[in-house]
Structure 1
Amino acid sequence: MKIMTLEKRIANIFRMSDEVWKHHTNPWSVWTRLTVLPLIILGFWSRSWFGWWSILIIVIALIWNWINPRVFPIPKHTNNWASKAVLGEKIWLDRDKINIPKHHQLAPSILSVMAALGIILVVFGLVQFSLYPILMGAILVYTGKLWFLDRMVWLYQDFKK
């Protein structure tokens, strides 16, 4: 019996059906989703200015994170980097059912850990009101995530052959 991957559990929490994944292949969905982290950072950072009202920014970011893969239309074609990244990510999520080639198994996990370490730095910086760890953490998050997505393009192209 294979265990469901963490990423698949997260996708299930977000109710990422096959139809939602089709919408998420729209490049606008991929690129605009990158706004979620800065909005969350702004929300937590602004607690010193807005007090409890800063939660509104965080809620908006979380709602945006939820509706983003649903709001854009299914693209007419998926022959672009962002769409292929999402299609590869879908393959990666199904790795408990699909045999992923050896040369694709290690890097995505390392890049996910890199992004997770970035989140830890961001949280530390937000708690301390320290800009340096926030910026370093955000750089790690985006580097890890975008590099991960690039690996997903490669995975998708290998599966498409």
Structure 2
Amino acid sequence: MEPTTHDEKAGHIGLRDRLEATFWERHANPWSAGTRILVYPVLMYAIYTRNRRLIAATVAFMAVNPVLFPRPERTDNYLSRIVLAEREWLDDGNETMGLDYPNVLNTLNVPVTVYAFAAAIRRKPVGTVLGTLGVMVLKLWWTDAIVKETSVTGRAPGENSVSAE
């Protein structure tokens, strides 16, 4: 990627930029992306069963997940590409919510998430499962759409950078 800020062009990358780069590089590990997708059903189960320890552990895991795993050797796999596409999407100045496609998917996800949480709190099993599935489908649909929009392909071992065709 080309340097985008004045500091980067001048060869001076600030602490914030380095931390952000580290965040995205480590989050591009397929274990990070994959477990982050799977953590939502665990959270809904924890809320449904009123398991406070599991809720706390799940929230803690969600907080550290993006930096928990090492920078991957390769990012030419689908799970890495969804993270790289999200980074590129945001770096290009795009929003994540709105009425335009694909952001409408995240906008629709707000009431579905509220529904899922309400169903779990009220211990409605069908609503909890359907709401959880709805959240996951909408989120994966959005990430798939931005992978296609950005054309991020990732990098195999020996390649220096992420390529966007």
- Where do 1:51-130 residues align within 5 Å? 54-96=51-93, 106-130=100-124
- Rg comparison, structure with higher value: 2
Q: 1:157 aligns with which of 151, 155, 160?
A: 151
Q: Per-residue deviation at 1:146?
A: 0.7
Matched position secondary structure for 1:147: helix
Structure 1 runs of 4+ with >6 Å offset: none
CA contact (8 A) 2:45 2:120 kept: no
Unmatched 5+ stretches in structure 1: 1-15, 48-53
Q: How many residues align structurally?
A: 134
Distance 1:55 1:95 in 2: 39
Distance of 1:115 and 1:78 partners within structure 2? 27
SS in 2 for 1:17: helix
Which residue number in structure 1 is paired with residue 160 of structure 2? none
Q: Which amino acid aligns with 1:82?
A: L
Compute the RMSD of aligned alpha carbons.
2.2
1:71 offset after TM fit, Å? 1.5
Corresponding position: 1:42 with 2:45: yes
Q: 2:142 aligns with which of 117, 137, 148?
A: 148
Shift of 1:72: 1.2
CA distance in 1, matches of 2:149, 2:27: 18
| Alpha carbons 1:84, 1:153 under 8 Å: kept | yes
Q: 1:54-84 CA deviation, whole Å, 9 max, x = no partner?
A: 2211110011101111111111121111111
Partner of 1:12: none
Which whole-Å CA distance do the structure 2 matches of 1:46 and 1:133 have between them? 14
Bigger drift between 36-45 and 138-147 goes to: 36-45
Q: What is the percent sequence identity of the aligned residues?
A: 26
2:131 aligned residue? 137
Tell me how far 1:95 sits from its aligned partner.
4.1
* Paired residues of 2:151 and 2:164 also in contact (CA < 8 A): yes
Q: What CA distance in whole angstroms lies between the structure 2 residues aligned with 1:71 and 1:55?
A: 22
- Give unmatched runs, 5+ long, in structure 2: 1-18, 153-162
